[in-house]
Structure 1
């Protein structure tokens, strides 16, 4: 049991105990409010380069299993918890959380007041942090933090390098992988789709070669403006195939149609975010993980209209093209972890494909 300290760029420190990998690490410190699903959170590619603070006090009690990973190579920088359980008890458990962190070379910090840390991030905004072991000079470490350069290649690192196909007898869906969660693939496969997963920098010409029935733009990490290759892709394929965007995919659709995005003070990361459908008035409880949002005012005069808004802060949670079969949501309909209130958006996507095919063949 060795001393490990989280140092925030504003000088605040949180001392606790090390677990997981043994190495110094830096990243953006964010908090996640979900009560369960720590394995899915840890392996969500959208957390690339981020240090995840989990607000639920006990983490690791049901262990780690093969089935619940959202990627095969987690890219989070660290996991910070109030109390870690080293003796999990669950019939599906195959290893402990600490063992998983060691396997993926991710440092963990336990024994800190995560409620105080979360309140601090909520009032000051997310910020850069550094984990160090043992004794240290605070001034030196703060200088190191302030000199830390924020990466802009998270999507490139999170995306697949080569296209691959998951067979199915239903519609052929091209999934553009900006850091896609496996939950999205599972939902498409569950509906019988043939899924063609392609890299983030795929061109419109390459997509059309697959003769797809629809294209899905996945979630992913970082700033949407760091993915300029997606803009011409979306622009060229709008009106040619049905397009559905999730999270980062939603933000990229907005950028491709002339709108703007901005960074939220502390983001939306949790499994209990209420979202209202403006057409029906229905409110769904959703799973979310994003640090950027679409600027609603920037949509004025362009082809997109707002379809969903966040109840908590009024930010844009969904858009639709006025005339073409293009729509997107900021939240995660595949949940994983989280409520399944919005899971029928995958069915809506397939219905739009069917409708489009009927129009084409009419």
Structure 2
């Protein structure tokens, strides 16, 4: 008995010193979660992304015991940092939508594993700033042809197609021509080119003087809403029928504009007219007095020019106001009977009136 007791005590000592007891935390597996957001960088127009995660079980020696793709029930995502009004998170689908914006923005998403709440990760999503060209650059150079499947190749007043409002919306709400995507513009897009009507005198005049300063306008440019202050000035008289404008003040789209009602040289008739719009970027600090004269408008590299022929409009009994006026549909309607349009005449131009949908107007598409 005296010999057995020391042996038992020694055995107990060995067991108590064993470094691999079952309750020893160094002998337990650990877990690691890795999440990715695809994509994690967006253009200024925004877009949709998704979050995926992988859960790994790691042995004490560092080897991977198991790896599994996490399902939508296995983790949550939430906004940790960023403007909540510019992102929408769908936890059921593990997706998010970044809204368009003119400025750069970062959003930090936090992921949490449901069964292992200490396993979290932060994902940074970046949105670039929108780069916008001057709005006139998005306007196609020519009208749509009579078949409605291509552009005309001349600015003559008698070659374009005429379409009722329903026909224009059906054919041109979205269309690909020569490999390029185009659409029938909204009235807000037209107002980025020609401002809305305000009464007599209006902002763009061809036979009245006008002088408007700091006119606040909100328009749409290539899918982006832009609010700015604008100046309009005209001393239309004699052979010069033009309005000058300093548009998009307070934005990086500051530009000088000239609206002219002039003879259409392609018709070889001095009674056949057209509207020509020219715009060019200018430096901050420019004032309307500097651009409201003909010498300023000597042709310059970088000028954007668009011509709008005076096609008039098509009535059941024929073409009316040919060579004197132009009417161009927008895609949106004022009501069930009338659609919005841009129009010009011998005395002014505007993008703020509507006409019966049965009228046949010409179509100018935007990119």
Regarding TM over 0.5, the answer is: no
TM-score (norm 2): 0.25
Task: Name the structure with the higher helix share.
Answer: 1
Q: Which one has a bigger Cα radius of gyration?
A: 2
TM-score (norm 1): 0.25
